[in-house]
Chain A
């Protein structure tokens, strides 16, 4: 039966059909749905781990005892998991081990645009790259087989357009994988220098064996058409190139590491001109050039951003697509914090106090955008805490009093906690604000160790952030509600002034959570003096109509932030809207 499936859903299906037993991941766009889909299969143990390193280690452990295991993450998550990945490359596997990594060409939802194919090459882990949902399913199934046959972890490279596009998939049945009896094998699985050196020799031999496989495998396919133009490509770029070069011959590389040589040389010999179409880094192109093939690639197409069919066409033959044009600039529509988002209040206070804000990764990174514009730095998951400490150590205690780190609950558990330990251990004085909205927000509401629920929604122990910070050696811990603007401001003033490290837990659930409390919508009354203070909050429910601010009752959740900033008491509860509230959330 053929079904329309997201690439991510198809990856999950492939793993399921391959008999995967354990899946551990950390959410990250565009990879998140893989593990969410896996969680729907009762035959598979699945979990959200605190971060990608732990997730991969869980999968490695499961693999070591013979069970097929998988770990999924976004490209930057693979950096976090790089340490176990590079050495699991040496140990190899017991049960098949597959690591899915979703790149984000075009940075739809990421802080950089790194090319994970380079990680495959440097970690010497073989990598397959599907170009649509059917291939996602099939490649993942095959990856488990190859993993066991060649004693190696396998990487599956996805990208936003593969992960988040739906195409037709032939769904099959699950075949249970029966693990072999566990036998201790220190030479293979305990990576101390003497053992690891032997395994490094094995890894190099394995790459040679797999190079031979790459010459003749179902992943690397030749479509023989015109002998004038040949195109070498893989992944999503194949789909674009097929539209740009309908008559060309194609060499589609589904195995991106290691790459074949003879196959490419043969293909290139059969055509007059060879294009390499690949987004981001010239990985295939460089391989071709080492083989002495004169290919056209990055000389006409950038290594920045994602491609479009029109862009490739233009680069190849200068052809412009006919289109409608308007002459005036169209105002942008950047993403915004939701109406009723607790982060808005937090950033309102931080901006008012003129603090230097060391930011982090999550919905709250939107605090950097106007009108809040309240963020100085944002680098990677967990970095806000360590950076705040570095700032204080670099510029001294007084300067440090103007600095706060802001980090979400899930991000804090991911890798902010180690930064906090550094602050305590090395006698820092930083103030860390944990934005505890009781969920992993930006990736679409995943539970995490602080929420008290597992990926399957089963109740579990929740990490107590107060006790955790206390155990790290923080004596000043304040739990505060950011909706209480005055109280919250007072807390931030006190904690930044203190000459010891402190943690403020800004506690208020994400407004999109079913458990979050909604209040009657607010309305702007005739007492309004049109100062437009409420409009500076950047609430999507407040806009200007006929020169005056007005509240859209369908968007307002009654958080009351505008009521609190209005100096004239002109904003009140809209009782006509109580009915909507009674109906509850959709």
Chain B
């Protein structure tokens, strides 16, 4: 790999972006790469907009991804995809969970949730993959498994063996939730 791989995971606090980034980090280590994973804790985790970055390659310097630098964006929520589309590389791709979670300014009626976000993102020329990860997560047994469904979708689009992905999931997820997450991954992988 001549250039580093930059993956951004965006979502809402509580959607499991942190866990997803750690699975990706462990996957990249298993490939023998230098890896950096950046997270934000504290205030922004309280239902706010959450971003994590995973970068891997021969040598990674900045743990953070700048605008126009992401090869892949995994968006767990539609509005968050809209917010961070500027971070996608011109030849990158964005995987969007079609789920919508109203932010507080929408709940209070101060603003409206924008309509037709996915069409608007497509209109910019970005490569978009839509996924109903919420439905798949529900089929797996828990609506909160959206994150691992999305990971499965991503895995199916890479040339890294599925076994290696599953090994990274196994290594990262607490044993208690492993079965659920494996199921969610498989469902995402076959979407």
Partner among A4, A310, A322 whose Cβ is within 8 Å of the Cβ of B29: A4
Partner of A239 from the list B62, B114, B144 (CB cut-off 8 Å) is B62
- Distance A195 CA – B46 CA, assembled complex (angstroms): 50
Contact A336 to B48, CB < 8 A, known contacts A325-B124, A330-B79, A554-B143: yes
A149 to B46, CA, bound (A): 44
Query: Smallest distance from the beta carbon of B13 to chain A beta carbons, Å?
Result: 7
Please report the C-alpha to C-alpha distance between residue A328 and residue B29 in the assembled complex, in whole angstroms: 39
Q: Name the one of B69, B107, B108 contacting A309, with C-beta atoms under 8 angstroms.
A: B69
In angstroms, Cα B108 to Cα A532, docked, is 9
Number of interface residues of A (CB under 8 A): 62
Across the interface, do B43 and A165 meet the contact criterion of CB distance under 8 Å?
no
B46 pairs with A338, CB closer than 8 A:
yes
Query: In the bound complex, what is the Cα–Cα distance between A109 and B39 (angstroms)?
Result: 13
Q: Name the residue of chain B whose CB is nearest to the CB of A325.
A: B86
Which residue of B is nearest A339, CB measured? B47
- In the complex, the answer to whether B61 meets A243 with C-beta atoms within 8 Å is yes
Q: Of A164, A363, A554, which one neighbours B41 at CB under 8 angstroms?
A: A164
Give a binary string over A103-116; 1 marks a CB under 8 Å from any B CB, 0 the rest.
00000110000000
Contact in complex: A323, B87 (CB < 8 Å)? yes
B42 adjacent to A29 (CB under 8 Å): yes
Complexed CA–CA distance, A336 and B50 (Å) = 13
Q: Which residue of A lies closest to B50 (CB)?
A: A333
A538 and B61 form a contact (CB under 8 A): no
**Which of A109, A240, A370, A540 counts the most B-chain CB atoms under 10 A from its CB?**
A540
What residues of B have a CB within 8 angstroms of the CB of A328 in the complex?
A: 114, 120
Closest residue of chain B to A8, judged by CB? Answer: B41
In contact, A326 and B67 (Cβ under 8 angstroms): no
Min CB–CB distance B179 → chain A (angstroms): 14
B105, CB-defined interface residue at 8 Å: yes
Contacts of A517 in B (CB 8 A): none
Measured CB to CB, the nearest residue on chain B to A160 is B40
Complex: chain A residue closest to B36, CB-CB: A167
Q: Decide yes or no whether B1 CB sits under 8 A from chain A.
A: no
Q: What is the CA–CA distance of A442 and B68 in the complex, to the nearest angstrom?
A: 32
Q: Of A4, A370, A554, which contacts B108 at CB under 8 A?
A: A370
A165 contacts B37, CB within 8 Å?
yes
- Is A443's beta carbon under 8 Å from chain B? yes
Cα-based distance from A335 to B45 in the complex (angstroms): 7
Partner of A168, one of B35, B42, B61, B69: B35
Q: A324-B85, A338-B47 are in contact. Are A309 and B105 (CB under 8 A)?
A: no
A161 proximal to B (CB < 8 A): yes
Interface residues of A in 520-544 (CB under 8 A from B): 532, 535-536, 538-540, 542-544
Contacting pair B25 A543 (CB below 8 A): no
Asked if B109 lies at the interface with its beta carbon under 8 angstroms from chain A, I say: yes
Report which of B35, B62, B86, B102 forms a contact with A240, defined as CB distance below 8 A: B62
Given contacts A4-B25, A363-B46, contact A323 B41 (CB under 8 A): no
Decide: A242 near B35, CB < 8 A? Known: A4-B29, A333-B104, A366-B46. no
* Structural contact, A308 and B67, CB atoms closer than 8 A: yes
Chain A residues whose C-beta falls within 8 Å of the C-beta of B111 in the assembled complex: 331
User: For the complex, what is the distance from the CA of A323 to the CA of B90, rounded to whole Å?
Assistant: 6
Which of these, B47, B102, B125, contacts A324 with CB under 8 Å? B125
* 11 A-B contact pairs sorted by A residue (CB < 8 Å): A29-B42, A32-B41, A167-B63, A324-B125, A333-B80, A334-B105, A338-B46, A443-B42, A540-B104, A543-B107, A586-B177
Known contacts A168-B34, A168-B35, A370-B110, then 20 further A-B pairs from the complex at CB < 8 Å, ordered by chain A residue: A30-B42, A108-B42, A132-B36, A166-B35, A167-B35, A167-B63, A309-B64, A309-B66, A310-B69, A321-B69, A324-B90, A325-B86, A325-B124, A326-B120, A331-B103, A334-B105, A335-B45, A336-B48, A366-B46, A538-B107
Binding site for B on A (CB under 8 A): 2, 4, 6, 29-30, 32-33, 108-109, 132, 160-161, 164-168, 236, 238-240, 242-243, 308-311, 321-326, 328, 330-338, 363, 366, 369-371, 442-444, 532, 535-536, 538-540, 542-544, 554, 586
